Structure 1
């Protein structure tokens, strides 16, 4: 939840990730494994029909009020619409219920009127990842629990994100949702965060380059707010290198990753493409602008046998011996002996 005087990145992260209907479905399925209210909600609607309500209705933007608003079809099959509000809190907030009541009135009623309906029954789901126990839906000490949903002008559900299991996240096919939930679960627990987050590395390689890079950058900004600048250095170490963490942005990082995977042939192809650009101004001039330095940095941590394997691949591609020697750091005699 963000107010007009705040631009906290944790709210922006939640909105950015779960504004996508696919991520929303994955989040609800993860939550339902340990939350009866969410199980009942998913049984009452058709999860495949989630559509985000446009910002003109929900006032959702980087400094807006409601976190996220959606509509979804009821499972009855008669195309009856249900409103869904997602609210995120990272700490107890006494104004939460008043805020959500306001959202139901301003967001859902406005949407209903624009679609010639009198009202849309609304479910307000609060996601919480704070350090202390809290559930505002149970803060009615003067009433028995039986009356709680009668007091609220909407159906309420509460999800403590720390109760979503690590195993369920690691098995989740939606990598972005799983990593996002994990980051939020352990935003206050550096030790557990560094223990679990690197376990997603293999799954991370299965999604497109740009998506993986963007996801890791967003998670870094989010965690920096809670854990400070030092967490980024620790995450860099956990993910092997800065390049690996941010999408293999430097030549040296590309080579380290590919060598570790034993993909010498793919590496040779990548170098060939890079060198072809340098030939326009001369091979030696192109390399002097950074290609050779990046390659040497990448290979400096490789094992000797990996360098030999790479040199052999280059030689088979027809690269000059002098160029191979400069790129790999091997002597010409060593290259000739291959």
Structure 2
């Protein structure tokens, strides 16, 4: 399995705005800062945006990018905010610099009046909090309060996603969250993944036929679903790879 399949799994599960919104709402139950963000935006207005960047020779792609409208803003105001979801399975000292590239390429250049909120979705085993890092840490303290031109939030899947209630989640979301949350817990992973698989394959759950898992096109929903299941069931190793 490719070491980047965990990114593919994350992108596939949450590229649809409603599924991404469900992740944000679930994490916001324990993440007060994220909850404050959700209080001022209308999740029903989330729209997927392009993710590719090519700035000054720096090519890459954000994991997931959306725009959404500020809550209660009228049609004339058109107050929108950019949202980037970036998945990490290990601490990455370059993540904020990475997000900075996304900010300028995806929003600042084309939408100078549109603020951006970057949400780092972390499911690693190692304790990590990039939000505490100073932009100019090597400089004297005088410079330490200089911040970034965008907001950064972090979802620690292991701590902030509680017990997964399958009945309240989309099958793709439930399966992916089990894989992410318990990938380093061998005792809980197997029984919960079996339960998640059964929920995913339950005929009562309507699987989206248009679901495009890992770029599989034109082969029917069965192949697409099998690709997703294969990635989920083997992601014990995939989610342990740095990304």
TM tier relative to shorter chain: 0.7 to 0.9
Larger-Rg structure: 1
Deviations 1:179-209 (A, max 9, x none): 2111111222232111212333246412236
Separation in structure 2 between the aligned mates of residue 106 and residue 84 of structure 1, nearest angstrom: 13
Of 199, 217, 228 in structure 2, the residue corresponding to residue 218 of structure 1 is 228
Matched, 1:47 2:43: yes
**How far apart, in 2, do the equivalents of 1:190 and 1:227 lie?**
12
Q: Residue 241 of structure 2 aligns with which residue?
A: none
RMSD: 3.0
Task: Tell me which residue corresponds to 1:133.
Answer: 127
Asked if the contact 2:175–2:232 (Cα under 8 Å) also holds between the matched residues in 1, the reply is no
Determine which structure has the larger strand proportion and give its number.
Answer: 2
| TM-score computed with the length of structure 2 as normaliser | 0.75
Deviation at 1:167, TM superposition (A): 2.8
Higher relative contact order (CA 8 A, sep 6+): 2
**Structure 1 SS opposite 2:84:** strand
Partner of residue 27 from structure 1, selected from 23, 35, 47:
23
Give the Cα–Cα distance (whole angstroms) in 2 for the partners of residues 173 and 54 of structure 1: 26
Counterpart contact for 1:175–1:203, Cα < 8 Å: yes
Equivalent pair of 2:52/2:61 in contact (CA under 8 Å): no
Question: 1:66/1:124 Cα in 2 relative to 1: closer, same or farther (>3 Å)?
Answer: same
Distance in 2 between residues matched to 1:57 and 1:223, nearest whole Å: 31
Count of aligned positions: 212
Contact between 1:82 and 1:123, CA under 8 Å: does it hold in 2? Answer: yes
TM-score by length of 1: 0.56
Provide the rounded CA distance (Å) in 2 between the counterparts of 1:111 and 1:47.
22
Rate the CA distance shift 1:76–1:208 in 2: closer, same or farther, 3 A: closer
Structure 2 segments unaligned to the other structure (5+ residues): 212-220, 239-243
Which residue of the partner structure matches residue 101 of structure 1?
A: 100
More helix by share: 1
More off after superposition, 212-221 vs 150-159: 212-221
Which of the numbers 191, 195, 209 marks the counterpart of 2:191?
195
Equivalence for 1:317: none
Give deviations 1:261-281, integer Å, cap 9, x for gaps: xxxxxxxxxxxxxxxxxxxxx
Alignment-derived partner of residue 92 in structure 1: 91
Gaps of 5+ in 1: 1-5, 113-117, 229-338
